[in-house]
Amino acid sequence: MSHKKMVLPLFDAQLLRPALLDSVRKLAPREQLKNPVMFVVYLGSMLCSVLWVMALLGKGDAPAWLTGSIAVWLWFTVLFANFAEALAEGRSKAQAASLKGLRQATWAKKLAAPHCHGAKLALVESTDLRKGDVVVVQAGEVIPCDGEVIEGIASVDESAITGESAPVIRESGGDFSSVTGGTRVLSDWIVVRATVNPGETFIDRMIAMVEGAKRRKTPNEVALTILLLALTLVFLLVTVTLLPFSVYSVDAAGSGEVISLPVLLALLVCLIPTTIGGLLSAIGVAGMSRLMAANVIATSGRAVEAAGDVDVLLLDKTGTITFGNRQASAFLPAPGISQNQLAEAAWLASLADDTPEGKSIVLLAQQQTRAVAPRHDGVLSESQLGQGTLQALHQGLEPPGASFVPFTAQSRMSGVNVAGRQIRKGAVDAIRRYAEMLGGTLEDAVNSAADKVASRGSTPLVVAEGARVLGVVELKDVVKPGIRERFAQLRQMGIKTVMITGDNRLTAAAIAAEAGVDDFLAEATPENKLKMIRDYQARGQLVAMTGDGTNDAPALAQADVAVAMNSGTQAAREAANMVDLDSSPTKLIEVVEIGKQMLMTRGALTTFSLANDVAKYFAIIPAAFAATYPQLGLLNVMQLASPASALLSAVIFNALIIIALIPLALRGVRYRALGADALLKRNLLVYGLGGLLLPFVGIKLIDLILVALGLV
């Protein structure tokens, strides 16, 4: 099952039933202690239940039906808060359960002696593999363990992990050698060295990461919990002092009634911030679930929250901003040579070149010769190419009688001998020496074209036939499509983008300009990347980084938010605190939005919770003291039917509003790229004013229903 199919409706039936049961299980005192605000409500519910029993025995200070009703709705308040948290945890557990389905015991072809040529293969279960074991995986087989490809190249189906149907190439060496257990080899074969032991695989870590119930609270959440606890203590002290104050007032006035304990408990619960207290944990768990729905695995909510405050984003160029493989982008022929002639020669010289660069030259040559009718001036005539060569070019077939010259580090060129012709392609200085050796020369026009290609940050390859130089092939490190627009979005969000690369400054500047980043670091070493991150952090800025290579690991470990590409190396994935299953370099935009959304949701619901307490004051305070101080009847602006109705209406609204806000807590407040001032004004207008007005309407409506049903 792919992660993109793990997103369940907010109130899916398979989540509701376990959540309801968990709501009851969470009534254990140890669970309630985790939330100080709701723990106070929990204690109040138990005390009110005791008072109800005493009232039934004729020893209560309030009517039994009123005390019992208050007790029931206080328990509902606790249960509804438990339900919100259990529902959020249930979504994470459902995601973890679907991930567990990816773990499967498979048979592995283990090399008995990995370092010996011709070593025998032994069939073992994947659960018996240990770190350092070497296995062979062929087409159609499931990769039995997490590891690194040490030999071979293969097309791998990673849809079970990423949700993407397009296969990826995994090969030995470089930044694309990491493979994940449970994925399937589609073609060719690879030799894999296991990098983890059973129980420590990527899937196992993913399952642990998405278990939202086990997450640690973020600093922001801890600070808010302390604030809510402080408010709770303040209102607790206020409520406790009201009883002796009420006794003194009755004795002094000689009339009225002493406020009862059930009424005080109702007042306390309605005064303290129960709404945000009941939803706070659910907001944090839901934030991680939304991140998982975006195909990003986070180690904790801390990283998600930090993403909401990121100031600087560092991106590795190769494989992140660019595709990572240089690709042929243009043919620049020498004077007197047509583009098709250069394309045909470059195609012939690249047929045996299995590198991504060679394959891209073949593809570009085929596109070039199909788009424009072949034209020959005697230099590269069909008879010289050999019978059937043009047809082979158009059909992508190997020409008859070809003898290929492989690339070597010493010659720095490769080519083909076919039909009496010698065609070579290679670095500028290598082809210059080759042409001069045969009595030719590299013309100034070709030198100029090669220099222009280099100035654009691309790599020039020169093609020659014998002593005659035919032109230049431009190899370009292609920037991923749409990335410039995504960086513009980051800029609007106030995030500075910095590209880091090992390329020279000329190449780095060209790629940076094309990608639209704000700054770049050229000729970067792991030490340089680490120093840059520390410099930004020393200025009080939060730094995020995406990368995929082993040399990115130190910087990823230092960054506040570190997103590793799933296609990257094991070292990068282990150093990061997030893993992007889609390997999209701009996924951090979604991560930032989810982080900001979590902060906004928490702020919005806190504003709402504090604002809606105002209406409860107007409901309960007149009801509690009306008999002693009739003047307080002026505060009964809602014209509630009776003190008992006012108490019950406020307590019932206090419980129901938690249920009503669960969808908002789980889905989150919609993110808008606004400044802090604009967001504050919007929160105060929507959630502050809304939180102030809605309870007046809700409490009055409940009062009318209670009266209509004859319950008060």
25 annotated ligand binder: no
609 annotated ligand binder: no
- Cα gap 137→107, rounded to integer Å: 10
User: Contact, 317 vs 501, CB < 8 A?
Assistant: yes
Measure the CA dihedral 369/374/378/380, to 10°: 20
| CB burial of residue 521 (10 Å; 0-12, 13-18, 19+) | buried
Cα angle for residues 323, 329, 334 (degrees, 5° grid):
150
Select which of 175, 316, 477, 560 is catalytic. 316
What is the DSSP pairing of strand 496-500 with strand 312-316? parallel
Sign of CA dihedral 8, 10, 12, 17: positive
175 annotated ligand binder: no
602 annotated ligand binder: no
408 annotated ligand binder: yes
| Helices of type H across 139-273 | 159-162, 202-210, 219-253, 261-271
Residue with tokens 């939180």: 691
- Cα gap 705→712, rounded to integer Å: 10
CA distances from 655 to 280, 351, 636 (A): 15, 73, 21
425 annotated ligand binder: yes
411 annotated ligand binder: yes
Q: What is the largest CA-CA distance in the chain?
A: 124
User: Contact, 144 vs 126, CB < 8 A?
Assistant: yes
353 annotated ligand binder: yes
- Asked about 677 being catalytic, the answer comes back as no
Six-digit token pair at 690? Answer: 């809304």
Six-digit token pair at 553? Answer: 């690991």
Six-digit token pair at 662? Answer: 């669960």
407 annotated ligand binder: yes
Phi-psi region of 295 (alpha: psi -120 to 50; beta: other; left: phi over 0): left
Residue with tokens 């230049």: 472
Nearest to 391, CA basis, from 402, 401, 382, 381 = 382
User: Contact, 581 vs 296, CB < 8 A?
Assistant: yes
Cα distance between the two ends of the chain: 54
Nearest to 78, CA basis, from 658, 694, 617, 695 = 658
Q: Map residue 697 onto helix, strand or coil.
A: helix
Query: Residues annotated in the binding site, as ranges?
Result: 353, 357, 407-414, 425, 548, 552
Query: Residues annotated in the binding site for ATP, as ranges?
Result: 353, 357, 407-414, 425
> What is the set of active-site residues?
316
Query: Residues annotated in the binding site for Mg(2+), as ranges?
Result: 548, 552
